[in-house]
Amino acid sequence: MTEEEHNDKLPQVGEIIASRRQHYEAMKLLGKGGFGAVFHVRRVADDAQFAMKCETYDVKKQVLTMDCKVLRGAYMIRSPHFCTVLDRGKVHERFRFLIMKLVGKNLWELRIATPTMRFSLNTSLKAAEQSLMSIEDLHKVGYLHRDIKPGNFAIGMECNQEQQIIYMLDFGLCRKFLGDQTHKDLRMPRASAPFRGTTRYASLAALRQIEQSRKDDIEAWLYMVVEWTAGQLPWRKLKGSDKEDVLKWKEDVRSGEALDDFLTDCPKRQFTAIMQYLDSLVYQSIPDYDYVYYCIQHACRVNGIDPTEPLDWDPTRLYHGPCRADRDKRGEETSKIPADSAAAGAATKSFTTDNDAAGSKKKKVA
């Protein structure tokens, strides 16, 4: 199938797309990938705005089912860092779609729009904490992201007063690392795992084509946080295909002058501590997220950062983004709900009230 034929299958701006219950108008293309596209849509009945992720029928690797599973899991633990899914459907022989919460700019766009191409240390550290909470939540649900990068985190919409919340996006490369209900243990690592992710942020293990685990999402997170803070990574000029060279560079920045260069303008002691801690982990390790938060908090303290200091993209409002205390409280509440009961029921209901091929069709996930 040619690209043109593929594009013809996708919605056109202005087209009305129907699910079983609702009609949506495609307003604007937000992004396009190999899987299909994401559109800003309007619900015709009440003008409410959403994002619609479409996946054409001809894609080699289906991603929408994974998006659905992950978002359902995140909904069940009430994580504030994931978009809620409101509807889903299909357009015969063209595409399947998912209607979800509309969010704002991603963290890549926000950084490159700044005059110095970097965030203030205050913003970097606050964004670091929130994005790490989203990774921890994803791991709680049993999935690895495997493509942690700034383009996969976005802020909430200003019109909803949600621009202090960071959302995790794009679960197309996720992999379940825990077994199913009866086999809850860690899955056996494969002897060799084809590369998944984005070279610039990929962990050492990912670049070495070793099976990834929780530590690797956090290692990628650290490269992303360094880029936010320093405004660049030493290997920024290398291409996605230069995996060997990027790997060498990442091995190099573990010590000496290369480490100093890597962590220019960063809280060096705390970021080094995080990197050394991550390097001490193995495939089976359950990361000590609290230790990583502690290092971030410590970096805030020694740099005199106030917990309510505003974010770069929301300079007039004191910061009151989701914090770890809220999360711990939520954790206590959700742990009171027996698994497979109320929360699961509610979540499933919100996902199954509409027709969907992606949900009902049995499919092997990545």
Ligand X SMILES: Nc1ncnc2c1ncn2[C@@H]1O[C@H](COP(=O)(O)OP(=O)(O)OP(=O)(O)O)[C@@H](O)[C@H]1O
Minimum Å gap between C-beta 89 and ligand X is 16
Cβ proximity of 219 and 278 under 8 Å: yes
By beta-carbon proximity to ligand X, the closer residue of 100 and 358 is 100
Residue with token string 């109320």: 342
Q: Which stretch binds ligand X (CB under 6 A): 29-37, 189-197, 205-213, 260-268?
A: 29-37
Residue type, 198: T
Can you tell me which of 5, 13, 20, 33 binds ligand X, judged by CB under 6 A? 33
Sign of CA dihedral 253, 259, 262, 267: positive
Give the binding-site size for ligand X (rule: CB under 6 A). Answer: 18
Annotated catalytic residue 340: no
Can you tell me which of 10, 17, 41, 51 binds ligand X, judged by CB under 6 A? 51
- The residue among 99, 76, 82 whose CA lies nearest residue 145 is 82
Residues 74-103 that bind ligand X (CB under 6 A): 83, 100-103
By beta-carbon proximity to ligand X, the closer residue of 28 and 190 is 28
Sign of CA dihedral 209, 250, 215, 132: negative
Can you tell me which of 9, 78, 151, 355 binds ligand X, judged by CB under 6 A? 151
CA angle 170, 174, 180 (to 5 degrees): 135
By beta-carbon proximity to ligand X, the closer residue of 103 and 225 is 103
Selected catalytic residue, list 67, 87, 137, 147 = 147
By beta-carbon proximity to ligand X, the closer residue of 33 and 315 is 33
By beta-carbon proximity to ligand X, the closer residue of 122 and 130 is 130
Binding mask 103-142 for ligand X (x = CB under 6 A): x--x------------------------------------
Q: Which stretch binds ligand X (CB under 6 A): 147-155, 279-287, 319-327, 336-344?
A: 147-155
Q: Is 61 annotated as a binding residue?
A: no
Residues 309-328 that bind ligand X (CB under 6 A): none
Minimum Å gap between C-beta 299 and ligand X is 27
C-alpha distances in Å from residue 140, one per residue of 63, 134, 319, 330: 20, 10, 26, 13
Residues 254-283 that bind ligand X (CB under 6 A): none
Using CB under 6 A as the binding rule, whether residue 170 contacts ligand X is answered as yes
Minimum Å gap between C-beta 127 and ligand X is 15
Question: Which positions touch ligand X (CB under 6 A)?
Answer: 30-31, 33, 35, 38, 51, 83, 100-103, 106, 151-152, 154, 169-170, 172
Residues annotated as catalytic (active site), given as ranges: 147
Q: Which residues are annotated as a binding site?
A: 53
Q: Which residues are annotated as a binding site for ATP?
A: 53
